[in-house]
A = this chain, B = another copy of it.
Amino acid sequence: MMQAIRRLLIGKPLHNNELGHQRLPKWKALSIFSSDALSSVAYGPEQIMLTLVAVPGLIAYGFMAPIALSILLLLAIVVLSYVQVAKANPGGGGSYAVSKKNLGELPALIAAGSVFADYILTAAVSVSAGTAAIISAFPFLAGHEVSLDLFVLFIVLMLVNLRGVRESSTAFVLPTYAFLLGIIGLVAFGVFKAFTQSSYLIHPDAFAAQPLNWMVIFLILRAFANGCSSMTGVEAIADSVPMFKRPEARNATITTYWMAGILCLMFTGITFLIMHYHLLPIPDITALSQLAEQVFGRNWFYFYIQVTTMLILYLAANTAYNGLPILLSIVAKDGYMPRYLATRGERLTYSNGIILLTIAAAGLIVIYHGQIDHLISLYAIGVFVSFTIAQTSMVVHWRREHGPGWKIRACLNGLGAFTTGLVVIIITVTKFVHGAWMILVFIPCMIYIFKKIRSHYDSIAKQLSVPPEFVIKEKANKAESKHIVIVPVSTPTRVVFNTLKYAKVIGDNVIAVHVANDEESERKVRAKWDQWDMSVELVVLRSPYRLLMNPLIEYIETIDNMKGTNDFITVIIPEFETKRWWHRLLHNQTGWVLHTSLILRKNVIVTTVPFHLKE
């Protein structure tokens, strides 16, 4: 029945041959790989606003424009850098693969650790933001954020991904374009209204910037750091070059530019409108929802925006499901994670990785009660650490390659590495107490775990390897292996009879051992023995202290110490399997005790011939 439920939920097993990629045209690739990046505008600009209004006085919008401009500049640099990555790595591969090739183990592991954090947070943040969008539209759902989030994670995302979906499925194409259309419509109409209805124009006072002091600078930098969350996901296209139609690198580059252009347009538009309508945070209502309401009122277009926002955000969470299990499998193949993360399940998906991701993201959502603001604090840092490492790898790559125009390319990536590195420092400093410290603890922990796991596998591989000399030496050792079979007997029952039959099959030298508390017990067993006449020697050990195990184990140890290193001892415990588990409570567990007492001895095998009680 478990099997049937599983089939229903997950589907039938898939054949190896069913694995394979479909090449994507640019318009499909754009929608699929940029859902994470584009959906960020649903929370990025809002995060800048939230940080600024935290300051008393009206400085809120005085610094918003410069911050937004710096983020756009940063976006330009990162995009240009990643175009280089796409060109240099037509085989694809994220920052782990790139840095492993160019920089070595440690940077690669740092990248892996930060991308892990990044993916888990992508899932958690996107699902929470999607739920926030829908709660803004339907306020009666407020208070059920965490339940909704968990439902989406476990029932929608996990199950869909365990079944395995083609990334190219049209189901994934529509929401992105629908969202894009909605936001561009919102921005266009909003800007049109802003310039035609003069009454709504921004009041000049709102732009009055407070005099700068360290406190204010710190807050501006923190707002910038929060705004950087709009840029998560830009690397997705560069990581997936081989999925594009030929010429892959060129198509990927063009798509990256398109994505950057759209992202830039939406980000600028939304930021402008937030400033124009002078939005302030309202509990349970996102900034995007406020905007849409200001621009359209609560009509069907408003609901269209909210629903498509929700859809693209859940889709963005899905990119974590596309990315993390594959990354886990690559890292696991290198021996830094448990090996079974590298094997595909029966539906060809990396099931273990999918489950792991779901649990981790669900854990974060439960801990932070599904509040995006808190999750965002943890976010960007991992992304930018991996950006920095990837760009640095590219500098090394170009220096090694010495291809045409390598200097310019190296400079471009160098600039990218420098800027993103700077951003890492800004985020670390301004958001340290807000959660950045957690990521800075998480990454070293992950590196420690990676190394521990790898060294365990290395040590096992060494211990288990069979060098040719070993085989030759073993063969040279002509000494015949001797084999002694010991059967402990308490009462001569059918189980013992059956066990003895097997014992005689697997060895010529069978000894039955009985531990007798007193003469009567000995006499009884001997009588039965003579009656059976199995031609098996019966050794009786006297145990005046009524201990069963000790004399038996001592006897086996004596024989073990006498035997050669090449010889084997098999101890076969006559045990029966009861029909119901609770019947076990009525029988002593000597078999189990014997098993654990002998397990550490070399070439002593403890086994049982299963005998099943029918009642």
Contact = CB atoms under 8 A, between A and B. Distances in A.
Contacts of A463: 494, 613-615
Interface in A520-561: 528, 531-533, 544-547
Contact of A605 (B507, B604, B607, B613): B607
Nearest to A580: B456
Given A15-B544, A531-B471, A544-B17, A493 B464 contact: yes
A495 B464 contact: yes
Contacts of A464: 493-495, 576
Given A545-B16, A583-B456, A493 B465 contact: yes
A613 B458 CA distance: 12
**Copies in the assembly, this chain:** 2
Most chain B beta-carbon neighbours within 10 Å: one of A464, A465, A470, A600: A464
B466 A546 contact: no
A273 to B, nearest CB: 51
A583 B614 CA distance: 38
A586 B457 contact: yes
Interface in A334-368: 338-340, 343-346, 348
Contact of A502 (B583, B599, B605, B610): B605
A188 to B, nearest CB: 51
A471 B505 CA distance: 17
A495 to B, nearest CB: 6
Nearest to A586: B338
A492 B507 contact: no
Interface residues of A, number: 74
Contacts of A17: 544
Nearest to A610: B599
A240 to B, nearest CB: 24
Interface string A455-476: 0110110011110101100110
Nearest to A545: B13
Nearest to A567: B505
A592 interface: no
A613 B460 contact: yes
Interface in A581-614: 583, 585-588, 599-605, 607-610, 612-614
A223 B541 CA distance: 60
B544 A453 contact: no
Contacts of A609: 603, 605
B608 A605 contact: yes
A568 interface: yes
Given A465-B494, A466-B497, A600 B612 contact: yes
B497 A481 contact: no
A87 interface: no
A602 B498 CA distance: 11
B610 A607 contact: no
Contacts of A468: 531
Contacts of A456: 583, 586
Contact of A471 (B16, B466, B483, B532): B532
A568 B501 CA distance: 10
Interface in A49-95: none
A607 B598 CA distance: 14
A602 B612 CA distance: 8
Contacts of A251: none
A506 interface: yes
A521 to B, nearest CB: 11
A348 B547 CA distance: 11
Contacts of A483: 505-506
A346 B546 contact: yes
A14 interface: yes
A492 B468 CA distance: 12
Contacts of A608: 605
A534 to B, nearest CB: 9
A518 interface: yes
A570 interface: yes
Contacts of A600: 610, 612
Interface string A434-467: 0000000000000000000100110110011110
A168 interface: no
B599 A577 contact: yes
A586 B452 CA distance: 11
A13 B547 contact: yes
Contacts of A586: 338-339, 453, 456-457
A546 B457 contact: no
Interface in A263-286: none
A517 interface: yes
A468 B585 CA distance: 30
A493 B466 contact: yes
Contacts of A348: 546
Contacts of A533: 471, 475
A222 to B, nearest CB: 40
Contacts of A570: 506
8 contacts: A13-B546, A343-B546, A345-B546, A466-B493, A466-B528, A474-B497, A481-B501, A603-B609
The list of the 7 closest CB pairs from A to B, nearest first, reads A464-B493, A607-B607, A506-B506, A13-B545, A459-B615, A464-B494, A16-B544
